[in-house]
Amino acid sequence: MCSMAQEKQESTTRLFVGGGWANVLDTYLSPYSYKGTVFNFIVERQYEHTMHRTSLHMSLSENPAGNVNEYEFGVAYGVAHHFQLMKKGAFNLKAGPMGHLYVGGIYNERNGNNPGQAKLSLMLDASALATYDFRLWRKDFQLEYSIDVPFIGLAYSPQFGQSYYEEFVLGNYDHNCVIAHPFNTPSLRQRFVVDFKLKKRGCLYWGYNGELFQTKYNGLRHHSYLHSIILGIKL
């Protein structure tokens, strides 16, 4: 088995790349969902109880009429502390808090005074990680499922009809720092991967990464549904 650090201070670093489907709505830019493609890049360092994750995604999507493109990007850094909740045979469950910083933006290529939407949030998430080891065809495999659910934090949002000119040229702020909680930020990130040994030390990971990120701040609605097939290696 090679996906998880087994001893104290020992760490495992994994790199994932992926691609899939994006569905992006931001009512500051358009009342309609844009659909397209997303690319992911995730680096994760796992200690026995601590996990550091840096992820980047870029999506290109188009409106329902197919005549306007929207570009979304986001960089996230999270650090989680997982407590051992259960270890029963081949099944292992850990959970704990996760600090999560997200910086990103969406650009609509047609809009004039509202061409983009900046995204910034600092959240405390509930994070869990479950693994299950098994043998198949005389080889060791591991199933891994992880989920992070934003719990509480602070996020940036323009006001319903506020322009960036007012905010950043005139300095007129209006509830632009929002308290985020599960009722206005019902979101989750989840990942399901299977890992299997390649050689003595090499490991290959294959699975699904889903980011269902949603907000309702200042009367503006946003969602990014990003579903990706990911492939990873142990570094």
- Count of beta carbons in the 10 Å neighbourhood of residue 151: 17
Member of 162, 195, 196, 203 binding another protein (CB under 8 A): 162
Q: Is 149 in the site for another protein (CB under 8 A)?
A: yes
Query: How many residues of this chain interact with another protein, rule: CB under 8 A?
Result: 52
Q: Are strands 203-217 and 188-197 parallel, antiparallel or unpaired?
A: antiparallel
Member of 90, 105, 160, 181 binding another protein (CB under 8 A): 160
Using the contact rule CB under 8 A, the part of the chain among 36-44, 45-53, 60-68, 200-208 near another protein is: 60-68
Member of 33, 50, 54, 176 binding another protein (CB under 8 A): 33
Using the contact rule CB under 8 A, the part of the chain among 6-14, 21-29, 37-45, 196-204 near another protein is: 21-29
Binding site for another protein (CB under 8 A): 25, 27, 29-33, 63-68, 86, 88, 91, 93, 110-114, 128, 130, 147, 149, 159-163, 165-166, 169-170, 172, 174, 182, 186-188, 190, 212, 214-216, 218-219, 221-223, 225
